[in-house]
Amino acid sequence: MRTLLILVVIGALGYLGYTYQEEIKEQFQKITQKGEPAKDSEETAQAPGAEAPSGAVQPAATPAEKRTAPPGVYYVTKRVSVQVEHGIKALVPGEMVKLVFRNKNGTARVTTGKEDFDVKESQLTNDLATAERARQEGGLP
């Protein structure tokens, strides 16, 4: 009976872990997708500074806003590796991690969902453009 209970608990944890991983994968794909710009309506398609049909002057276009990851989600900008008892654990540039907590010494504990790492905060970014550049320079597909 006890063995059955242990198997059920292990199965439930495996299922929860799998669904969490799939959810994170979907969020990552949504964040990193390069969508096409939305089509403007006739009123907003006019040049900045041109008169709107109502006679009001439209404000000049503002620079594009910086795209960032959701709170607590970061990307590694430089390779991080740690020697462990059975080999080496590594994070590659552009890899998504979640913040666990910040240390007082300028490092942060992050997790991939499978492994935890202590990294310098300067090795993390939430800017998606910087993460994409790091991924391309780091050789990730």
Predicted TM-score of the model (pTM): 0.52
How many beta carbons lie within 10 A of that of residue 137, not counting itself?
A: 12
Q: How far apart are CA 97 and CA 116, in angstroms?
A: 9
> For residues 125 and 37, which has the higher predicted lDDT (pLDDT)?
125
Domain residue spans of the chain: 1-31, 67-141
Mean pLDDT to the nearest integer, 90-96: 88
Residue 71 has pLDDT above 50, yes or no: yes
pLDDT value at residue 98:
92
Q: Residue 124: which pLDDT band, with cuts at 50, 70 and 90?
A: very high
Q: Which helix (H) or strand (E) holds 20?
A: helix 2-32
Q: Which helix (H) or strand (E) holds 83?
A: strand 80-84
The CATH class, in words, for 67-141 is mainly beta
Mean pLDDT to the nearest integer, 67-89: 86
